[in-house]
Amino acid sequence: MKRLRPLLLAVALSIAASLVALFFYLAPPTVATFANRVADYVFVNDALRFVEEHNPLAALHYTPVDTDAVSDDLILIKIDEESSNNVSAGIPAWPFPRSFYKKLLDKLHAAGAKLAVFDIDFLDPSTDPTQDAAFAQGLRTMPTVLPFVLNTTSTGLIGVEPVESRIAPFTAAQGYSTVESTGILLGQPLMITADTTRYSSLAAAAIDAYTGKRIGLRDGFTGTLGSTTIPLNGHGVMYLLPFREIARQDIDQRVGAATATVPFVLGLSLADVMTESQSDLSAAVKGKLVVLGATAQALGDFITTPFGRFPGVFSNLRFMDQLLNHRFITPAPQSLDIALIFVLPLLLSLLVTYGNATRNIVLCLLVVVAYVVAASLTYASTLYWIDVIHVGSAMFGATLLVSVQRVIRESSDRRMVTNLFGMHVSPAIVNDILKNDDPRSALALTGKKVKATIFYSDIRGFTAMSETMTPEAIYAQLNEYFEEMCAIIFEYGGYVDKFIGDCVMAVFSAPYQTPNDAANAVRAAVAQQKKILELAEKWKAEGKREFTVGMGINTGDVVMGNLGASSRMNYTVIGDNVNLAARLYNVAKAGEIIISDYTYQEVKDFVVAEDREPVLVKGKKDPIAIFNITDVKDVAAPANA
C-alpha cells in the first residue's frame, strides 16, 4: 500500500488538473475568454499565421495552409469613405436611393458578372414606391442575393425580419446575415431550422446560387456542398478561417486609395466601379461573384472577432471564400479532446511519480511542448483543430502538481530518515540512504543479509564508579564521553546502533557494504582509546573520576534492516556474528581492543596486534582465535574525510 499511495495521489492530482482544464474547455464563449475555446481558437490560428509567414520546417517540405490565397471567383465592391456622397462618381449621399442600386446592377450585368450579393439590408419599404420598382427591375436583370435578419426572442424562438416584400420576389436567393449572438465571431451557422423552415446563411445562399451546387445540412457536425462535406462544430456552425485586414494601397486596385481590405479577395471601391469604363470593369468582374458591402468607418457595419474589429462584409466574404475553395476548419470530436485532456496528463503524472525526478520532469515538459507543436503544425497544414491549450495546460498542471507533491513527500521521507538516523548515523550514511528514489524502501520492515563489522565498547567498573557519583554528574560525564565516541565512529563511516547503559554498539557497513569496513572499525577503535586517555587527563585535572574502556570487534555476515513495529522501528543488525562481537568486548580488559580472527584477516597488514589465547564463547563449538590491537602502522584518512 505504501508503494501505491504515491501512485493513487498522482492519479487524483492528474484528474484534478484535467477537471480544471475541462471546465475552461466547456465554458461558454463569453466566460473566461482568456482560457476557453476562444483562446484555443486564437492560439492555433496565431500558430498558423506564424508558420505561414516563417515556415521553420520548409527544409522538410512542410506546406502550411495559404490563408491569403486570392480567390479567383470573388470580387468585393466597397462602400468606403471615397464612395460616400461622391458627386463626381455619380454616387448620392448615404443611404443610397434604391434606384442607384439599379444602375449598379445594370453596370455589373453589362460587365458580365455572374452573381451579385448585397451585404446591405433592405427590410423596410422605400418612401417612394418607384424606388423599389426600379430596384426590382435591376434584380430582374442581374441575379442578386439579398440578406435578411434572424432574431432570437426572449423565449428562444427564431424571429425573421424578411427582405421587403416589393423586392423579395425578384431575388435569386436570400440568406441571413446574422452572426453568432455571443458577441465574438468564431463562425456562423450554415443553416438554421425554425418551424420546419430551413434558412441559409448569406454565404451559403450565395455559393448555392453561384455554383448551382445545393448546400445542405446533415446534422450539427456536417453540412454538404454538392458532394463535398463541410465540417461543423456540432451545433451547425462553420468556423471562420481568420484573415488579415490590411490598410494599404492594394496592388489590385485601379485607383490608389489607401483603404481597408483583405488579401484573399480583389477589392474595388464603389467610386471606381461607377467611373470605370465598361471594358475595364468587365476584365475584373466577368463571370465572378460580386459582393457589395460597407467598409467606411462612419457606416458602422462592423463585427468583433478574436483578432479585432472588422467590417461585417469581410466575414461574409471569408465564409464564401471558404465554401468556394473548400478551406474548412475541422474541429476534432469533443470526445477526442476530452479523452486527451484526461489521458495524457494521467500518463505524465505516472511518469513523474517514480524514477529520477529531475529527468522525468524535464521529459514531461518536453512532451508538453512536443504535443503543442505537433497539434499546431497539424492545424497549420490541414486545418484539423485538436485542442491545444486545455490539453497542454492539463499536462503541465498534472506534471507540476505531482512534482510538487513528490517534493513534499520526499522531503517528508528525508525528515523521517534524518530523524531516525540523524542521532546515530554519520551524515554520509544518511545522505547515501536519501539518494534512493524511494527512501522508504531503505527503511522497510525487512532485513537483508550483508557482511558487516560490529563494534562494542564498555566502560570498566562503571557500576562501582556510579555508586559514588550523583546522577547529574554521571549523566554529564557519560554524555561528554558518548559525544566524543560517536564523533569518531561517524568520522570513520560507522553508525551507532544503540546505547546499552554505558555500552556503545556500532556497525561499520550501513546501509551499504564497503571494502574498508573492518579497517575503519579498527582505526575508529584505536582513535577512541587515544581519545579516552586524553579525556582521562582532562577529568583528572577537573577532579572527576577516570575510567577505562574495553572494546570488541567482529566481522561477518549479519541480517541488517528495520526491526520493530511500523510505529516504532530500530535500524539494527542481528545474527550470530553480532553475538560474537558482544562476547569479545566482555573478554577485553581495560584499554584493550579485542578482535576476532575474521576481522584480523582483513586488517593484519596495517595493525600492531598481540595474539591472545583462543576463547570459547557461547554458541560456538570450537575456541575462537582473538587478537588485541595496540596500534595501527599507518595513518589512514577517516572514511568521510
Q: Is the pLDDT of residue 423 over 60?
A: no
In whole angstroms, give the CA distance from residue 459 to residue 89: 119
Q: Which of 326, 342, 360 is the last residue of a domain?
A: 326
Domain shared by 279 and 131, yes or no:
yes
pLDDT at site 428: 54
Domain shared by 206 and 160, yes or no:
yes
In a domain, residue 586? The reply is yes
In a domain, residue 582? The reply is yes
Q: Report pLDDT digits (tens) over 47-100.
A: 999 998 888 888 888 899 998 899 999 999 999 888 877 878 888 988 899 999
- What CATH number is attached to the domain comprising 565? 3.30.70.1230
Q: Report pTM.
A: 0.69
Residue 303 parent element (H or E): strand 302-305
Domain shared by 129 and 24, yes or no:
no
Q: Whose CA is closest to 147, among 170, 118, 167, 126? A: 118
Other beta carbons within 10 angstroms of residue 105's beta carbon come to: 25
In whole angstroms, give the CA distance from residue 286 to residue 20: 54
Domain shared by 322 and 336, yes or no:
no
Q: Which of 326, 345, 367 is the last residue of a domain?
A: 326
At 379, the pLDDT band (50, 70, 90 cuts) reads very high
Q: How far is CA 527 from CA 94, 553, 583, in A?
A: 107, 14, 22
Domain shared by 29 and 153, yes or no:
no
Preceding peptide of 427 cis, ω within 30°: no
Least confident of 227-236, 243-252, 527-536, 550-559: 243-252
Q: Which of 409, 429, 456 is the last residue of a domain?
A: 409
- Grid cell, residue 293, equals 458591402
pLDDT at site 175: 94
pLDDT at site 641: 40
Domain shared by 521 and 554, yes or no:
yes
Q: Is 163 helix (H, G, I), strand (E, B) or coil?
A: coil
Q: Is the pLDDT of residue 156 over 80?
A: no
Q: Is the pLDDT of residue 254 over 60?
A: no
In a domain, residue 426? The reply is no
In whole angstroms, give the CA distance from residue 116 to residue 322: 18
Domain shared by 472 and 598, yes or no:
yes
Q: Domain limits at 385?
A: 4-65+331-409
At 181, the pLDDT band (50, 70, 90 cuts) reads low
Domain shared by 601 and 539, yes or no:
yes
In whole angstroms, give the CA distance from residue 556 to residue 562: 19
In a domain, residue 424? The reply is no
Domain shared by 18 and 90, yes or no:
no
Please report, for the chain, how many H helices and E strands are present, in that order. 18, 28
Domain shared by 587 and 551, yes or no:
yes
Sequence-ordered list of residues with C-beta below 8 angstroms from that of 61, at least 6 positions apart, any chain = none
In whole angstroms, give the CA distance from residue 129 to residue 98: 10
Domain shared by 479 and 554, yes or no:
yes
Domain shared by 54 and 173, yes or no:
no
Q: How far is CA 517 from CA 429, 506, 602, 609, in A?
A: 13, 12, 9, 18
- Grid cell, residue 308, equals 479585432
Q: How far is CA 376 from CA 41, 56, 213, 389, in A?
A: 11, 13, 33, 10
Number of compact structural domains in the chain:
3
DSSP 506-542: EEES-SS--TTHHHHHHHHHHHHHHHHHHHHHHHHHT
